[in-house]
Structure 1
Amino acid sequence: MRTDLAWALANSDLIHDRATLERAIARMAARIRNDHAGSVPLMLTVMHGGMPFAARLAMELGAHRFDVEFDYLHATRYRGRTHGGELVWKARPTTPLRGRRVLLVDDIVDEGHTLDAIVRWCRAQGAADVRIAALSVKAHGRCVPGVCADYVGVEVPDRYVFGYGMDFHGQGRNLPAIYALKE
Structure 2
Amino acid sequence: MTIQIDKKEFELLLEYDQIEKNIRLIGIQINVAYEKRLPVFISVLNGSFMFAADLLKEIEIGCEISFVKLASYQGERQSEQIKNLIGLNMSLQDREVIILEDIVESGNTLKQVIELVKKEKPASVAVCTLLLKPAALQHDFDEIAYVGFEIENEFVVGYGLDYNGLGRNLKDIYRLKREIP
Q: Give the Å deviation of 1:81.
A: 6.0
> What TM-score do the two structures reach when normalised by structure 1?
0.88
Aligned to 2:70: 75
CA RMSD of aligned residues (A): 1.8
Structure 2: stretches of 5+ with no match in the other structure: none
Q: Which letter does structure 1 place at the counterpart of 2:39?
A: P
Q: Give the structure with the higher percent helix.
A: 1
Structure 1: stretches of 5+ with no match in the other structure: none
Greater Cα shift, 72-81 or 33-42: 72-81
Aligned residues: 175
Aligned to 2:164: 169
CA 1:6–1:84 in structure 2 vs 1: closer, same or farther (change >3 Å)? Answer: closer
Q: Which runs of 4+ in 1 moved over 4 A?
A: none
Q: Give the Å deviation of 1:182.
A: 1.5
> CA offsets per residue over residues 131-162 of structure 1, 9 Å max, x none?
11101111415331226631011122211111
Asked whether the equivalents of residues 115 and 147 of structure 1 are also in contact (C-alpha less than 8 Å), the reply is: no
> CA offsets per residue over residues 78-126 of structure 1, 9 Å max, x none?
2556222212111111110100111111100111111011111211111
Which of 34, 37, 54 pairs up with 2:35? 37
CA 1:50–1:143 in structure 2 vs 1: closer, same or farther (change >3 Å)? Answer: same
Which of 90, 95, 98 pairs up with 2:90? 95
Q: Give the structure with the higher percent strand.
A: 2
CA 1:133–1:142 in structure 2 vs 1: closer, same or farther (change >3 Å)? Answer: closer
Q: Distance in 2 between matches of 1:159 and 1:123?
A: 30
Asked whether the equivalents of residues 112 and 147 of structure 1 are also in contact (C-alpha less than 8 Å), the reply is: no
Q: Distance in 1 between matches of 2:24 and 2:89?
A: 28
> What TM-score do the two structures reach when normalised by structure 2?
0.89
SS in 2 for 1:85: strand
